[in-house]
Amino acid sequence: MSIEHLMTKTLVTLDIDDDLARAKQVFEQHQIHHILILNGKELAGLLTDRDLFKNLSPTIGTSKETPKDTSLTKKKLHLVMSRELVTAGTGITINEAVLLFYDNHISCLPIVDDNFRPLGILTWRDVIKIIAVQYRHKLAQPNKPVTS
């Protein structure tokens, strides 16, 4: 089964010069865990919600927010994003993707073209969903033994 049919193609991206305040807004608006960071049209990095929380004070948006807390929200994404990316092309299979997740301890796999432009994203949640759907389908088949 090719990744191309399983990946999310509606991408949420930001530019390397956007700031943490913008990233926080995007995470909250879209209720996602990963944002692809672009330099022009090319994938330059990745920001996770964990990266965001590591770089922001927990008092942001509260009555205890300080000027220093506010200044942290102005930090540019290229200063905090992950640059060492594990990516794949559309031709890989779900089994190959699972090995990339496992071997590299990643939570998402950006799918890129030959020019490193993002085409889609596959997350570990997508993989779990695929396995769950396949297992449910298998359970629905009469007279077939189910193994775990």
Structural domains of the chain sorted by starting position, each given as residue range(s) with its CATH number in brackets: 3-140 (3.10.580.10)
Stated pTM of the model: 0.85
Strand 34-39, strand 13-15: pairing: parallel
Quote the pLDDT of residue 62.
Answer: 67
* Closest CA relative to residue 110, chosen from 101, 100, 99, 119: 119
Altogether, the residues listed in the chain come to a count of 148
Quote the pLDDT of residue 145.
Answer: 64
**Are the C-beta atoms of residues 49 and 122 closer than 8 Å to each other?**
no
The whole-angstrom distance between residue 106's C-alpha and the CA centroid of its chain comes to 9
The angle subtended at Cα 123 by Cα 119 and Cα 141, nearest 5°, is: 110
pLDDT tens-place values along the chain, 148 residues long: 678 889 999 999 999 999 999 999 999 999 999 999 999 999 999 999 999 989 887 767 767 767 777 778 899 999 999 999 999 999 999 999 999 999 999 999 999 999 999 999 999 999 999 889 889 998 998 766 666 6
Burial 73-104 (b: 16+ CB within 10 A, else e): beeebbebbeeebeebeeebebeebbeebeee
Instruction: Check residue 3 and report its DSSP letter.
Output: G
The residues, any chain, with a CB within 8 Å of residue 12's CB and separated by 6 or more, are: 26, 30, 32, 35, 36
Quote the pLDDT of residue 2.
Answer: 76
